[in-house]
């Protein structure tokens, strides 16, 4: 959430910055709500002062033995009037908060301007796409005939956009997750964390999934409003909600393996083939909680850690800086990692690494106390390190041979009991 003071003091500049990312700020609505808020606040203060004066008059009248009923009647009328004004103030403040919650983050000055994903900027690439002596197959053609990848059974059990993995491919899927966790904890300095898969609406608001992305979530039936997580970024980042951290606790670097659940509302017909867009998938998530002055250095570091997974697996990829039209709601700056998929003959997103600056922290009330005792908001960052299902697709397609066998990357062979080829 943006700082309301920032909007009050510089609304035209804020509107101009938001326009770059295609968001039109309703300045008229803000000004109207702000005027109502100020008027009611002044009226509330006046009535509170009058009530205080009347309360003292009651005490004086009692001390003098005078009839206090007229003063009590007047005090009651003041209290009733104050309650009405307080209710109106709360209603306007709630409307203001809802309006503020609909506004995306401001983008960093280094974010390229654009009108669509076609304007995303190539930052760097690594590795060269392999030239096959045969027509490479996609992961469905490679896995489905052998029963390694089974969509029919998954559909029977759960419906569309689920998958059953079997045998060595199921083991390869598990090996990828363990490999990523080991790399990030042993070489990149992350603390592993395990979190709940069900979260409250408050937690989802804190990391900006609610209210904007409610349709993409799976709600859990029950008395309380709770949801399955769409990413472990939600519970991991919320571990510091409603907190004041000490300077020596920062930076925090967490890595989390979890299942993720997404309804994919509005994506009908998009990436329907295979495992690219599933209702349930596994992911290794990286989360940083840092001091504000260090957050852009942390973004580069986090992105490099996600890249290292692809480098160890020897998978060609590229790093793209998302433009103003393609960047996520809460992000100030985002790098997407796109891995080469021979079966599609194109690069596809496999990780998104973002700095949200203080946008999530303001919603979560996540703060830190500096060496001088000053309290301010932390900065939060997150990124996939990596999405396991898509990494599995990339390994299967890049390591296939003309006989339809899958060769195991050297980095994964220790996790596969030395297996080198899936026959």
- 238, part of any domain: yes
Q: Which of 277, 318, 367, 369 is catalytic?
A: 277
The C-alpha angle 359, 362, 367, rounded to 5 degrees, equals 115
Q: What CATH number did the domain enclosing 51 receive?
A: 1.10.287.40
Q: Catalytic pick from 352, 354, 358, 384?
A: 352
In a domain, residue 20? The reply is no
Is residue 37 in some structural domain? yes
300 and 380 co-located in one domain = yes
**At 70, is the pLDDT very low, low, confident or very high (cuts 50, 70, 90)?**
confident
Mean pLDDT, range 356-372, rounded to an integer: 97
Catalytic site residue from 21, 362, 363, 390: 390
Adjacent-strand bridge partners of 248: none
What would the pLDDT profile of 179-210 be if each residue is shown by its tens digit? 999 999 999 999 999 999 999 999 999 999 99
Residues 413 and 284 in one domain: yes
Q: How far is CA 284 from CA 305, 309, 376, 382, 415, in A?
A: 12, 11, 29, 11, 17
For residues 208 and 284, state if they share a domain.
Answer: yes
Q: Are residues 211 and 90 in the same domain?
A: no
Q: If you average pLDDT over residues 209-214, what whole number do you get?
A: 93
Query: Between the CA of residue 41 and those of 3, 96, 403, what are the distances in Å?
Result: 19, 14, 75
262 carries an active-site annotation: yes
Query: In CATH, what number is assigned to the domain containing residue 160?
Result: 3.30.930.10
Question: Which band of pLDDT confidence, cut at 50, 70 and 90, is reported for residue 74?
Answer: confident
Q: Say if residue 93 is in the same domain as residue 215.
A: no
Classify residue 366 as exposed, middle or buried by CB count within 10 Å of its CB (0-12, 13-18, 19+): buried
Does residue 192 sit in the same domain as residue 276? yes
β-bridge partners, 367: 244, 377
Residue 31 belongs to some domain of the structure: yes
End residue of a domain, out of 44, 67, 101: 101
Q: What domain count does the chain have? A: 2
Q: What is the pTM of this model?
A: 0.92
The verdict on 97 and 240 lying in the same domain is no
Mean pLDDT over all residues of the chain?
Answer: 94
At residue 64, the pLDDT reads 67
To the query of whether residue 91 is one of the catalytic residues in this protein, the response is: no
| Nearest Cα to Cα of residue 382 among 276, 275, 264, 252 | 252
Domain endpoint, select from 101, 127, 156: 101
Q: Could you say which of 71, 101, 131 is where a domain stops?
A: 101
From 21, 161, 233, 262, the catalytic residue: 262
Q: Does residue 236 belong to any structural domain of this protein?
A: yes
Q: What is the pLDDT of residues 376-408, one digit of tens each?
A: 999 999 999 999 999 999 999 999 999 999 999
Pick from 21, 112, 25: which is nearest to 325 by CA? 21
Known active-site residue 352 = yes
72 and 167 assigned to the same domain? no
pLDDT of residue 316: 98
Please check whether residues 151 and 55 belong to one and the same domain: no
Q: What is the pLDDT of residues 225-270, one digit of tens each?
A: 999 999 999 999 999 999 999 999 999 999 999 999 999 865 555 6
Domain boundaries, position 54: 26-101
In a domain, 355, yes or no: yes
Residues 6+ apart with CB under 8 A from 156: none
In the residue annotation, 273 being an active-site residue is answered as no
Tell me: do 153 and 47 sit in the same domain: no
The predicted pLDDT at position 306 comes to 98
Check whether 22 has a pLDDT greater than 90. Answer: yes
Q: Are residues 127 and 276 in the same domain?
A: yes
Residue 17, domain member (yes or no): no
Do 249 and 138 share a structural domain?
yes
Q: Is residue 21 part of a domain?
A: no
Q: Which of 202, 314, 349, 376 is catalytic?
A: 349
């Amino acid at each position: 959430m943006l700082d309301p003071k920032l909007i009050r003091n510089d609304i035209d500049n804020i509107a101009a910055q938001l326009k770059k990312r295609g968001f039109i700020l309703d300045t008229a609505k803000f000004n109207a709500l702000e005027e109502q808020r100020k008027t009611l606040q002044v009226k509330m203060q006046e009535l509170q002062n009058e009530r205080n004066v009347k309360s003292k008059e009651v005490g004086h009248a009692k001390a003098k033995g005078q009839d206090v009923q007229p003063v009590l009647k007047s005090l009651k009328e003041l209290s009733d009037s104050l309650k009405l004004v307080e209710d109106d103030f709360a209603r306007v403040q709630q409307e203001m908060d809802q309006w503020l919650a609909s506004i995306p983050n401001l983008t960093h000055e280094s974010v390229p301007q654009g009108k669509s994903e076609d304007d995303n900027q190539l930052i760097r690439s690594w590795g060269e796409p392999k030239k096959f002596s045969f027509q490479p197959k996609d992961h469905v053609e490679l896995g489905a005939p052998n029963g390694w990848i089974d969509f029919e059974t998954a559909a029977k059990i759960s419906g569309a956009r689920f998958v059953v993995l079997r045998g060595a491919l199921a083991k390869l899927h598990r090996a990828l997750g363990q490999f990523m966790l080991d790399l990030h904890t042993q070489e990149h300095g992350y603390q592993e964390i395990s979190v709940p898969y069900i979260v409250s609406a408050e937690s989802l608001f804190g990391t900006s999934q609610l209210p904007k992305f409610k349709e993409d979530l799976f709600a859990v039936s029950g008395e309380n409003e709770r949801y399955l997580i769409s990413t472990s970024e939600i519970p991991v980042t919320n571990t510091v909600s409603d907190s004041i951290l000490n300077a020596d606790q920062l930076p925090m670097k967490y890595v989390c393996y979890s299942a993720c659940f997404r309804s994919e509302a509005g994506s009908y017909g998009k990436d329907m083939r295979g495992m690219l867009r599933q209702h349930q998938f596994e992911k290794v998530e990286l989360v940083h909680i840092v001091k504000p002055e260090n957050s852009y250095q942390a973004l580069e570091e986090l992105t490099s850690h996600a890249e290292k997974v692809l480098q160890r697996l020897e998978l060609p990829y590229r790093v793209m800086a998302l433009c103003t039209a393609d960047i996520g709601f809460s992000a100030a700056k985002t790098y997407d990692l796109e891995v080469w998929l021979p079966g599609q003959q194109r690069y596809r997103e496999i990780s998104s690494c973002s700095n949200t600056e203080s946008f999530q922290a303001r919603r979560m009330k996540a703060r830190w106390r500096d060496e001088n005792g000053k309290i301010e908001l932390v900065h939060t960052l997150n990124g996939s390190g990596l999405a396991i299902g898509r990494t599995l697709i990339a390994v299967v397609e890049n390591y296939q041979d003309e006989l339809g066998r899958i060769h195991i990357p050297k980095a994964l062979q220790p996790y596969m009991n030395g297996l080198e080829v899936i026959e």
